[in-house]
Structure 1
Amino acid sequence: MRLARRTGLAEEPQLERRALMERAREYTGLDDFGDPWFEQPFRKLLEAIHAEARLNAAGRWAAGKQFEKVLHDRLWAQQWFDRHPEILARPLPHPVIVVGPMRSGTTRMHRLLASDHRFTHLRSFETISPVPRPDFRHGGPDSRIVLAGRIMRVARLANPRTLTIHPTGPMEPEEELGLLVNSFWSTKHDAQWWVPSYGRWSERQDPLPAYLQMARLLQLTGWAQQASSLRPWILKTPQHMLDLPALLKVFPDARLIFTHRDPLSVVGSAASLAWNQTIIYSDHADARKIGEEWLRKTRLQIDRMRKARDDIPRSRFIDVHYEEMDNDWRAAMRRVYDFIGFDIAPALPAMERYQLRTRNLKRHPHRYSLEEFGLTPGRVLEELGDYVKTYGITSDAKAAASRS
């Protein structure tokens, strides 16, 4: 990127809010970004990037492209809503939402459920690009699939470990993280860049507008998929741990699956994921700071989840432990299906196929340790030991030194 700029092949990225929004208007020929609430987190994120992130040349370029893409998507989304008002009339009935700390088995649960054709789910290309291009036609080619493949190839080249930690492909089931990023909201930014001031500011805000936009984008996605609006959505992202009250305002009839895992693994794995992304974009990442931040964020996620659960009827949620899924995933999923009220038998063959496919996606184990992030099992359990006791979580300090 430095060479490209010196030779005039690439411009210095413009990381200024007004300039980025004006360029998006010029590129699309549109001027309605929807609810202007998104400008608040966008402003705070840009401030944190300038003050804290210390991005390298590739990081600045990637940030600029990411911001441009979100702004284009917001403009195109409003155009779709104006063209097709029936999109926003689509119901989103009683979704099943997987809620758990980052790295607690939410992806496995989500993808097993997404194997069942009786549910609707996002695919990876749809969370990377939540909004179809203006020339999209039902039944025709979708350029977002090609773009997602390119982005994943670049990510693999930049740091092959990122797709080992979270294996995926353009058509694989994926979480709705990109739909929250559409409002410049979510811990995706904390896991991608060192922007702690943005994270702390976000934790003090009411995220309801971001969740309302997420719901609108789900309606758009269902319309683009031509999926039945009667099929429940399968949703999940660790961001919901922080935002359960807003989530339940938008989806008041949701059924919740809470996943739990040994915090020694959760914190170490989350720090490793954040580290392996941050080092792509910055040459100054500090492993110890990242470890401290993800211990703090994990504690906050758990505290907020526990507080919000007090107001949720017990009939609306179920708890599933990581070890339970490891030991006998079929028995665990039968328990989940009893809770949902579905017969699991029609879904089991597709779940078996997912298990085979995921082995091919994840060829190498994710290795990490707490110590590489300046943490110890004793420190983590001192802060999160009450979570272990309350939910009967098995914690193994000896095994924490090297997890997969």
Structure 2
Amino acid sequence: MATRFRPHPLARARTAEWADRAVQALWDRGVTPKPPLDPDYLWQVGSRGFGGEDESSIRSAAEVADFRQRLEILCRSLREEAGLNALGHTMAYGQLTSAIRKRHALGRVWRDDAALAKTPIAPPIIVVGQMRAGTTRIHRLLAADPRNCGTRFCNSHFPVPTTPDLRPLKAGAALALARRFNPWLDTLHPFGATRIDEEIGWLAGALSPATFEAQWYVPGFVAWSEERDAAPIYAEFARILRTDAATMNNAALPRVLKCPQFSEDLPALLDQFPDSRLVVARRDGTELLESSISLVASQMAFQSDTIDLATIKAEWTRKLALREARLETALSHFAGPVAEIDFASLGVDWRGEITSTYAELGIELTAEAMAAMATEHDRSAAGAHHAHRNQIAQFADG
């Protein structure tokens, strides 16, 4: 598959540059006001049409307070540290008001039917590991097994169930716009509106740093969050998962969950699902760092005029080390089934790695499962994301 040439990790598309200038011009000429990244203002916009009872709903007082505090500190970091340009400011405004709106909408759903958030589900299979360690590939192979299930991209980013279900259309439109701003998006991650994908949207909806630190430089918020108990985030995550399982009618199937943030927060996730099976993705540290820098730079480049590669490298060298240390500590205290998959070995013999994984997890590997995984493997083999390694090599040569 042909991919657009990316000359530098911080390269910007013309569409993004045009959009940034256009938004700034609208503000400068007074055509539309610049929306403040102020918690109270964002709350007023995001909660419009909802009541206070939708915010609280079935959540504990501590969970309600946690979200409010996260919003306050994230907004401060965005104003004081992120160096957002007009497009970045607009995207931050949109994402945070959307998170507030979805939180209220979910609260309303649970007020109407609290049983959804308590739906019994099969013990999940959790893929943990650093981003760029092959977690997406592992995730989709395991979810391809007809006896398992996964979360659709559209469900992750639009978690509120609706009838009719228009989420695939919304997600498709959102991806189309994202590709205009970042034409290298699909070389970084193979997207699709209804493809199985990570649950990062559910984490973002609870204001976990997972999605924000990969697109904005917000060290104050990240440092605060790293020292914060993640339990409120994963309580919300569990409610959304159980609701999604009920509405998608797949609660009886093990859900294959995946997000690199799990490596940082694994104890909080396992507190919600103590009977989980774990699959740990491993990859060479140098390759992980190079790939992570490329991904983060691509997302930050068009949202900030001040970000630089040295800052990104320093932060993600630190972040990867922190996640690795926390993951190892969590694994040392976990007594359940654990399998490990090496990135390089997966590339050489994915069937062998999957066979070993199923054996280590104590799951029978059927011919039907292997056939479904082969179909997923073939689909992935044609993806644009295989060009990412060549991009990184070009950066080094340049």
TM-score tier, shorter chain, comes to: 0.7 to 0.9
TM-superposed CA distance for 1:57, in Å, is 0.8
Pairs within 5 Å for 1:89-238:
89-132=118-161, 136-137=162-163, 140=164, 142-227=165-250, 229-238=251-260
TM-superposed CA distance for 1:32, in Å, is 2.4
1:392 is matched with: none
Contact kept? 1:53, 1:194, Cα under 8 Å: yes
Q: Any runs of at least 4 consecutive aligned residues in structure 1 with deviations exceeding 3 A, and if so which? A: 3-11, 27-31, 367-372
1:148-201 deviation line (CA, Å, top 9, x unaligned): 112111111112112211111101111111111111113211101011111111
Structure 1 length normalisation: TM-score? 0.86
1:356 to 1:311, Cα distance in 2 relative to 1, 3 A = same
Q: Residue 67 of structure 1: which of 92, 96, 106 is its match?
A: 96
Which structure carries more relative contact order (alpha carbon 8 Å, separation 6+)? 2
* Unaligned residue ranges in structure 2 (runs of 5+): 1-22, 57-62
Q: Structure 1 residue 83 and structure 2 residue 105: aligned?
A: no
Q: Structure 1 residue 326 and structure 2 residue 347: aligned?
A: yes
Q: Residue 14 of structure 1: which of 23, 33, 36 is its match?
A: 36
TM-superposed CA distance for 1:364, in Å, is 5.3
Alignment-mate amino acid for residue 303 of structure 1: A
1:355-378 deviation line (CA, Å, top 9, x unaligned): 222233326510455996xxxxxx
Contact kept? 1:167, 1:361, Cα under 8 Å: yes
Q: Structure 1 residue 300 and structure 2 residue 322: aligned?
A: yes
Q: Work out the number of aligned pairs and report it.
A: 366
Contact kept? 1:264, 1:370, Cα under 8 Å: no
Contact kept? 2:128, 2:263, Cα under 8 Å: yes
TM-superposed CA distance for 1:304, in Å, is 0.9
In structure 1, distance between residues paired with 2:393 and 2:290: 5
In structure 2, distance between residues paired with 1:120 and 1:212: 21
* Corresponding residue SS for 2:281: strand
1:352 to 1:7, Cα distance in 2 relative to 1, 3 A = farther
Percent same amino acid at aligned positions?
Answer: 32
1:285-337 deviation line (CA, Å, top 9, x unaligned): 11111001101100111111111221112x52111111110110011111112
Q: Structure 1 residue 54 and structure 2 residue 77: aligned?
A: no
Alpha-carbon RMSD across the aligned residues, in angstroms, is 1.9
In structure 1, distance between residues paired with 2:25 and 2:382: 37
1:276 is matched with: 298
1:9 to 1:84, Cα distance in 2 relative to 1, 3 A = farther
* Corresponding residue SS for 1:15: coil
Contact kept? 1:168, 1:361, Cα under 8 Å: no
Structure 2 length normalisation: TM-score? 0.87
1:117-170 deviation line (CA, Å, top 9, x unaligned): 2112111111111223xxx22xx3x23222211211111111211221111110
